[in-house]
Structure 1
């Protein structure tokens, strides 16, 4: 290859690298913006009685440092509206501000230094006053916008909740394709015992945000869950679209949980009684 062609090749590679870096920086910045995501949730049971279902869903992504100043038609922050977000549905569950709560939790785990950037809470709001979030995610970033720690806030239909805090052992940034584990210690479904390991994966591809959770037990995949949605700006147009598409979505979540449970019960899938919840609220 001639010297001129070698120079051209190096310039081409450098240009591609700059474009990729610019795209990644733009995606990271977009991930920190308030958004409404429209997508789907999938569950697939792999053992004893195969069962798979996919339902449409929607969720909010809320940067906690900007929570008090967020404004969008039909959405009330700490006030009644068609859609409403209440501090008491998360964190300490006492209505206190959420950012100090997650910061104190991170500090207690020695993670405050790497999580010195934005915290984005991904969750469903109340719709006409009702909400049930099977799982909400707190995405904790560093000052450069890299994802470092994720808190999965899990609730069951018995009114109990538990938090799984996941990060790399060496505290490096979490990127697409990384798998993070947490031992299962909280009862969610009566059709699975409280044992095994959750394996989490978090991805952002352009405007699409996705979370995958696999439950493994004894070296066998038990359950696969995937939640994904395409983000758009949190504004009146997005909230009106949500209202038109799924006006009773949060009620539907509870109804679908019980419908799927009935289907499994009729197929005589093994049933496990609910044990006491863990003493510690965060694993």
Structure 2
């Protein structure tokens, strides 16, 4: 299998202490991590714009897959034989920023083994959550990383993370806090079918990482202008820097 591009939609809905809702389109990749270099599997015309780099994700080695296997090993699990599929952005024009990367890990028998949610903020920090979704592909985790200057580190996530398939993907992350309405982020995508959809995907791909970063900062400016209080940023957790 080669890396496959999907035309994706990202939406964030904040309801407290003020209403803020935005949606944007982008390109997202489903990348099999089978031990080969995914860049070698790109079409020749994609290589001019897109790169997949282990250094843009968790771990220290030059192998994206080995880094995931090593991370899982810190939980006492042997992932060496697992099939691992990533849902991620890519480095475009030499720059990468992936607010969320998901990894679906499957046993050789086909049984689900785990899902990893790797979260990155605009301060260069990241944290990875290893979760065990239930039969509805829903998992829960306590929030550990300061993601937004307008949200502190309290609360917990509910993640709906069904694995991607040929038709697309549909991910939902909900942040819960006592006494507050949830903050909801959705990330969905589909393989382009029409000529118009293929054109939109092609237009989104070359500078997708740069555009994502600009959009995040512009939304931050809008919230700041509306006087949403900024929350102090704590020191990054020790588990993963």
Q: Which category of TM-score, normalised to the shorter sequence, fits these structures?
A: 0.7 to 0.9
Aligned partner (choices 100, 108, 112) of residue 147 of structure 1 = 112
Distance in 1 of aligned mates of 2:110 and 2:179 = 35
> Does structure 1 retain, via aligned residues, the 8 Å contact 2:49–2:206?
no
1:276 matched to which residue of 2?
Answer: 235
* Shift of residue 239, structure 1, vs aligned partner: 8.6
> Does structure 1 retain, via aligned residues, the 8 Å contact 2:61–2:67?
no
The 3 A distance-change label for structure 1 pair 239 and 141 is farther
> Does structure 1 retain, via aligned residues, the 8 Å contact 2:152–2:231?
yes
> Does structure 2 retain, via aligned residues, the 8 Å contact 1:73–1:239?
no
* Shift of residue 75, structure 1, vs aligned partner: 3.5
* Shift of residue 42, structure 1, vs aligned partner: 0.6
What secondary structure does 2:185 align onto? strand
| Stretches of structure 2 lacking an aligned partner (at least 5 in a row) | none
The 3 A distance-change label for structure 1 pair 205 and 70 is closer
TM-score of the aligned structures, taking structure 1 as reference length? 0.75
Mapping for residues 73-112 of structure 1, pairs under 5 Å: 73-76=44-47, 81-92=48-59, 94=60, 96-112=62-78
TM-score of the aligned structures, taking structure 2 as reference length? 0.87
Q: Which has the larger radius of gyration?
A: 1
Aligned partner (choices 168, 171, 174) of residue 214 of structure 1 = 174
Distance in 2 of aligned mates of 1:245 and 1:257 = 16
1:6 matched to which residue of 2?
Answer: none
Q: Does 1:180 align with 2:173?
A: no
What secondary structure does 2:223 align onto? helix
Distance in 1 of aligned mates of 2:12 and 2:34 = 32
The number of equivalent residue pairs is 235
* Shift of residue 53, structure 1, vs aligned partner: 0.8
Mapping for residues 121-136 of structure 1, pairs under 5 Å: 121-136=86-101
* Shift of residue 240, structure 1, vs aligned partner: 7.4
What secondary structure does 1:140 align onto? strand
* Shift of residue 271, structure 1, vs aligned partner: 1.2
Looking at secondary structure, tell me which structure has more helix per residue: 1
Q: What value does the CA root-mean-square deviation take over the aligned residues? A: 2.5
Distance in 2 of aligned mates of 1:101 and 1:259 = 32
Distance in 2 of aligned mates of 1:192 and 1:71 = 38
